[in-house]
Structure 1
Amino acid sequence: MQPKIYTWLCLLLVWVSLPAWAASPRDADQALSAWQLPEAKRILEELETKAPDSVETLYLWARYDFYEGNYDQAVERLDQAIATAPRREFQELREIVASTRDVTKNYTKHTSPKGYFEIWLEPGKDEVLLPHAFEALDLAYDAFAEEIGYRPPTPVRVEVYPQTTTLAKVSILTEDDIRTSGTIALCKYNRLMITSPRATLRGYGWVDTLVHEYVHYVVNQKTHNRVPIWMHEGLAKFLERRWRGPDQHMLAPSSEHLLQKRVKANSLITFDQMHPSMAKLPSQEDAALAFAEVYTAMEYLREKAGPDAFERLLDLIAQGRDAQRAFAEVLGVPFQQFEREWKASLKSRKASAFPEESGFEERLVFKEEAESELKQMESPKARDHMHLGEIMQARDRFEAAVIQYQKAERIAGSHNPVLQSRLAHSLLALGRAEEAVSSLESSVEFYPSYVSSWINLGKAYAALSQWDKALEHLNEAARINPFDPEVHSEMARVYKAMGRTEDEAQARRFMTLVSAP
């Protein structure tokens, strides 16, 4: 037989004997990076059969275990891998996995009513988060199936951390990143990761934040992690309220105002500057601006391309299309043209009548940053009247307190939520519930994250025997700061009036839970 023919036949035999698709460590790495765990497991099982002693396969199995939440097994595999080959990436992963294992070792698992989510948290006070978390997440799972056309495998893992220091231990963020940017939650390592609102002074919109992170999860899963950060954050910001209903998206008035201010100053943040993470931006203001920008970009896309724009965009990216090209294709214009026209639309965006003179700054405040809320009043004269009102209120001299608060209001306007909540409190003590409602209307519109406004509105509507409205406002308070005992004591009172004995009992149980030292 001629040598060339013999060589060709040998190659043919090798080719015929190979499987149609041969797995490689790179394939497993890509599947893990895309959070396609069933596919990753199939590849790893094949790799293990071929090379059972491979340190690379051992490392990839450890990543798989980590993403599945099997932290003990992941650490064990990493220790074996490091003993054989002490590579830096092995050691870095072990550090995060071991920290996560240690943080969560006493956590308990709670499954949502529809079985879509598993929330892991410390036994005790954080259990008060479960009802509102489950409500929003289960609704979001079904809502995003309609909006984006994708249902991820269930259950989705959620972990709740008691402090920002804990979030820093189990992620790539530093404490400085968290405090500087106000980043208090992440979607990483195939899970949702959120800091409990008890780590903050006044709470924060933790329910919408949790859904925001779930949007990231769905987008990652559907597109195999091919979406750039600006697009990711734009979708998450636009859809974080989608669990409430189809047309509930909203940009906070303070964010609208900040956006207009920075447009006029020609100091917007570019999409490239948002990479690799909003958490790396230099201030809470810059992070808020970036979120406002990407929200309006997604709003622009949806208005121009229709209600199915997000689904079509993610479908194209999932098929392998470059994200910018996919965006341009759905919009129907080149991406550079979109950027020009979108920025032009920001200049003509309807101006918000935001009360800058109120002096209140809507930002994340951590417990150790506690200071007198009087500092949230800009005018010294108004601050003096508010302080006198507080003194009168503490002495149960509510008529005198109202007089002082109204004097402050005449100077500073009716928008400062600290002032208006104190005024409402004294009005309620005098039985003037309708006036209390009126006193809060403006401040709650402009500063919806100030929890006392919602509590006082709930109390006012309860005083007017408008039980459904009272419950609506108290639930909104719980979605900001469920660690305020008054939220639950007022809920218990409303449930009792409505004859809802089981709900009343739960509210009283939660009141006791959050009141404990």
Structure 2
Amino acid sequence: MKRSAAAFFVSVAVLAAGNGVRADGPDEHAGRAQEYILANDFDEARKELARGKPDDVGIATERARLALYEADCDGALVTLSSPDVAKTEQGAMLADIARGCARVTAANVLEEDHDQGVWIRYQDENDRALTPLIIETVVKAREALTRDLGATWPKPTRIVVVRDLLSLSAMTGLPYESAQTTGTVAVAKWGRVTLLSPRASIHGYSWRDTVAHELTHLAVTRATVDRAPLWLQEGVAKREEVRWREPGPFDDRPSPDAIAARGIELKLDLPLDKLGPSIAMLPSADAALVAFSEVASFVRFFASSTPPGSLERLFAALRDGKEPDSALEIASSGNLKQWDTKWRAYLQSKPKEPLPPLLSLGKEPAPNPKAPSLREVRERMRLAELLLARKHPTEALSELERLQLVGAAGAPQDDPSYRYLRGRVLMALADPGRTKEAEVLFQDPKEVLSSYGPWWALRGVLARSRNDEAIAEPSFAEAVATDPFDVEAACETLDADSPTPPSKDPSPLCQSARAWKVPSGTED
């Protein structure tokens, strides 16, 4: 079935940036305190605030900002209750964030690993089972960012996991409508990563890569004192979001170069310095996808075309107060216009890479008169799901066979959701020959269009049934990285009611997935 661009590349995680905002009020200590806060140097910020005049509006405003960055939302509200502070633009903005933060984090659950320096708040206690995976991701991502960008890390690293987009909006200030339009799943702002629970999407999203993406934003903000332009912030974050782990089969399929080139061809692109305050606030999912691809392709091109350390030099120049063009010339002997010209010439010089039919970028794929309609595909796949849930696999397979799916616009053979459903149906027939037929659907990740948690989980189940742990273990890991509360992924078993494999005790993640499981055939 056709996916939107945002859903297709579901790690749409953005920085709601507020570059270069300076404190209200005349006290010079307030301005310096804000710079320390943006760099997450909180002890130095406190020293500056102590040097300022206690009744200065700017000092009070920055004291509230510091409280927000240190996750003391109630303390920030107390400071912002002063009429003199509340009537300023900065005071009113901070008060809105503080109220939303206090509301979302009321009666929440805190997990903290002092040794690793990771602090996690959960709006929903059922998400606590993610803790070991979040900590592992944060630690590995910090190490990768230190290696690649020279990033330094004050502790703790703060993560907040929220249950829905309304809470994400309230915690960060990102407009709710913008989050809906562009498929935003996380925001790096206020010194923390606010992450949408994987439960909020029917089959999750690439949440571990999203954590790494957002930590990159925090690292760049700290390194530049929040002076990095949006193209640099997002471009570096897209480059770094997969470098904390081993390369995966979907990391560059399709490549950002191909999407950017197609977006330019369709005139969906924007100049790099005209992206606005946030990619999350662009008018459509297609526009957001093209923008992400533009900046990812551009930063990759810049990094590969300059000597090692160029990004670090660019960050340092921005931190020193240089404008982006001047900072680029210091780091690389070229300004943004010159680099943009080189990059676009590079894209034009590459062979044209076709995009998957489901990634239509503003238009539906050309209809195939011999293929079922999108509506028929959806209806028959849904009917097959319901029949399977009611123990009628033969009838379910009949519905799938009627689709004659080779070339179908809505559910092609490389759609992992179709392969997963067909595999489940074939296995439910309890025929060894049919099980062998099912295994063909799960052999090579390169044969499917995109990552899909249930497909990975069933691949792991099949591999374990033939004692192939070399395939089973990474398959289950990929499943959890996408859809951690899917029972097959979390419990490493085909049936929600089946016992956990004998070699494993039920993990907290498995217990949480089973407790949350929606009865088969009732999902909407």
The equivalent residue for 1:341 is 342
SS at match of 2:406: helix
The equivalent residue for 2:420 is 421
The equivalent residue for 1:179 is 180
CA distance in 2, matches of 1:83, 1:516: 51
CA separation of 1:128 and 1:254: change in aligned 2, threshold 3 A: farther
Q: Deviations over 1:450-506 (max 9, x none)?
A: 3222222222222222124222122222222222223223269999657344xx444
Q: Deviations over 1:59-100 (max 9, x none)?
A: 321221121112222222222x22787445323322321221
The equivalent residue for 1:190 is 191
CA distance in 2, matches of 1:353, 1:255: 12
Amino acid at match of 1:296: S
CA distance in 1, matches of 2:406, 2:449: 19
CA separation of 1:59 and 1:267: change in aligned 2, threshold 3 A: closer
Residues 420, 443 of structure 1: 8 Å contact kept: no
CA distance in 1, matches of 2:489, 2:360: 23
Q: Deviations over 1:15-63 (max 9, x none)?
A: xxxxxxx95333223333444322211101111xxx3343442232122
The equivalent residue for 2:404 is 408
The equivalent residue for 2:487 is 485
The equivalent residue for 1:460 is 462
Please identify, of 470-479 and 446-455, the stretch whose mean Cα deviation from structure 2 is larger. Answer: 446-455
The equivalent residue for 2:368 is none
CA distance in 2, matches of 1:113, 1:500: 28
Residues 37, 45 of structure 2: 8 Å contact kept: yes
CA offset at residue 130 of structure 1? 1.7
SS at match of 1:243: coil
Amino acid at match of 2:231: W
Which residue of 35, 43, 47 corresponds with 1:42?
47
Q: Which has the higher contact order (CA 8 A, sep 6+)?
A: 2
Please identify, of 506-515 and 292-301, the stretch whose mean Cα deviation from structure 2 is larger. Answer: 506-515
Amino acid at match of 2:421: R
SS at match of 1:488: helix
The equivalent residue for 1:71 is 73
CA distance in 2, matches of 1:495, 1:242: 36
Counterparts of residues 273-422 of structure 1 (less than 5 Å): 273-356=274-357, 359=358, 378=373, 386=381, 389-390=384-385, 393-394=388-389, 396-398=391-393, 401-402=396-397, 405-406=400-401, 408-412=404-408, 413-422=412-421
SS at match of 2:472: helix
CA offset at residue 150 of structure 1? 1.9
Please identify, of 410-419 and 386-395, the stretch whose mean Cα deviation from structure 2 is larger. Answer: 386-395
Counterparts of residues 74-93 of structure 1 (less than 5 Å): 74-79=76-81, 81-82=82-83, 86-93=87-94
Residue 503 (structure 2) pairs with residue 499 (structure 1) = yes
Residues 108, 125 of structure 2: 8 Å contact kept: no
CA distance in 1, matches of 2:457, 2:443: 13
CA separation of 1:247 and 1:46: change in aligned 2, threshold 3 A: farther
CA distance in 1, matches of 2:63, 2:469: 54
CA distance in 2, matches of 1:492, 1:309: 49
Amino acid at match of 2:337: Q
Please identify, of 192-201 and 347-356, the stretch whose mean Cα deviation from structure 2 is larger. Answer: 347-356
Amino acid at match of 1:27: R
CA offset at residue 257 of structure 1? 5.4
CA separation of 1:248 and 1:141: change in aligned 2, threshold 3 A: farther
Which residue of 436, 439, 460 corresponds with 2:438?
436
Residues 158, 192 of structure 1: 8 Å contact kept: yes
CA offset at residue 514 of structure 1? 2.9
The equivalent residue for 1:131 is 132
Q: Which has a greater percent of helix? A: 1
The equivalent residue for 1:474 is 476
Q: Deviations over 1:406-464 (max 9, x none)?
A: 55333424122332221121233344455434324677655334322222222222222
Residues 250, 450 of structure 2: 8 Å contact kept: no
How many residue pairs end up in the alignment?
Answer: 476
CA offset at residue 392 of structure 1? 5.7
The equivalent residue for 1:61 is 63
Gaps of 5+ in 1: 1-21, 364-375
CA distance in 2, matches of 1:362, 1:134: 36
Could you state the TM-score of these two structures normalised by the residue count of structure 2?
A: 0.80
Residues 419, 441 of structure 2: 8 Å contact kept: yes
CA distance in 1, matches of 2:344, 2:397: 46
CA offset at residue 186 of structure 1? 0.8
Counterparts of residues 113-132 of structure 1 (less than 5 Å): 114-132=115-133
The equivalent residue for 2:36 is 31
CA separation of 1:401 and 1:247: change in aligned 2, threshold 3 A: closer
The equivalent residue for 2:12 is none
Amino acid at match of 1:215: T
CA separation of 1:428 and 1:273: change in aligned 2, threshold 3 A: farther
CA distance in 1, matches of 2:417, 2:339: 41
CA offset at residue 337 of structure 1? 2.5
CA offset at residue 136 of structure 1? 1.0
SS at match of 1:244: coil
CA separation of 1:268 and 1:441: change in aligned 2, threshold 3 A: farther
The equivalent residue for 2:150 is 149
Q: What's the RMSD between the two structures over aligned residues?
A: 3.4
Bigger radius of gyration, 1 or 2?
A: 1
Tell me the percent identity: 25
CA distance in 1, matches of 2:375, 2:79: 62
Could you state the TM-score of these two structures normalised by the residue count of structure 1?
A: 0.81
